Structure formats: structure tokens, C-alpha cells
């Protein structure tokens, strides 16, 4: 199997433009182009790993604000509020790995 992110049409997501790259029984991989400030959210069952591919921005996890850049890998435990924020006009792209596999029912958005 070979997957090329450019062959997958993006769809709008609370984090930006999302391309679902891979899903198995235990893991999911997605590519996200952050287009602004993502919706603050958490997952009760899934943990995530963010790998910053391009650009710079912020990743807010709980009360912690992390300035992120290409090459950074950030684990996000389940039950932690988090969101990405684009901080300039440059492209900001993130590879998102979830375990167990992504489940839309496990996406809990903060009610503002």
C-alpha cells in the first residue's frame, strides 16, 4: 500500500482542512492544514501525537502554550483540552496520529 496526501481531497474539520490518510483497527493518521484557530476540544478515549510538518504556530494543551515548529513531536494525552493556532500568514501543517483509531463520537468540543 502507498498513500500520497495530495491524492486525498481535504474536508473542513474543527482543526482546519483535514485529509484522512490511514485508518486501521488500532490507529489513524491524518494531515491537517491549520487555517486559523482550531476549536478547543478533548478526547476521552483517544490519545494523539502531533508532528509539525510545515510552518510555525501554537499548540495549547490545558494551560500550557507551546510554540511549535517543523520537526516537533508533541504527545497529547486523552482527557486534555487542546487546540492548534496559526500565528502568521505562512502554511501550518500537522500530521496527527491517534490511538486507538479516530472516532468522531470521541471528539468533545468546548461549549463557549
Q: What is the pLDDT of residues 24-82, one digit of tens each?
A: 999 999 999 999 998 999 999 999 999 999 999 999 999 999 999 999 999 999 999 99
Give the mean model confidence (pLDDT) for residues 4-25.
Answer: 93
Check if the beta carbon of residue 106 is closer than 8 Å to that of residue 33: no
- The pTM score is 0.93
CA nearest 30: which of 1, 66, 7, 5?
Answer: 5
Give the mean model confidence (pLDDT) for residues 88-106.
Answer: 95
Asked if pLDDT for residue 6 goes beyond 90, the answer is: yes
Give the mean model confidence (pLDDT) for residues 95-102.
Answer: 96
Nine cell digits for residue 66: 507551546
Amino acid at each position: 500500500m502507498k498513500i500520497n496526501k495530495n491524492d486525498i481531497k481535504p474536508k473542513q474539520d474543527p482543526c482546519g482542512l483535514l485529509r484522512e490518510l490511514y485508518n486501521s483497527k488500532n490507529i489513524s493518521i491524518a494531515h491537517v492544514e491549520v487555517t486559523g484557530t482550531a476549536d478547543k476540544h478533548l478526547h476521552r478515549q483517544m490519545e494523539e501525537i502531533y508532528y509539525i510538518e510545515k510552518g510555525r504556530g501554537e499548540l495549547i494543551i490545558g494551560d500550557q502554550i507551546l510554540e511549535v515548529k517543523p520537526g516537533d513531536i508533541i504527545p497529547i494525552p486523552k482527557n486534555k483540552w487542546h487546540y492548534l493556532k496559526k500565528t502568521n500568514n505562512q502554511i501550518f501543517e500537522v500530521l496527527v496520529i491517534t490511538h486507538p483509531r479516530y472516532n468522531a463520537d470521541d471528539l468533545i468540543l468546548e461549549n463557549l
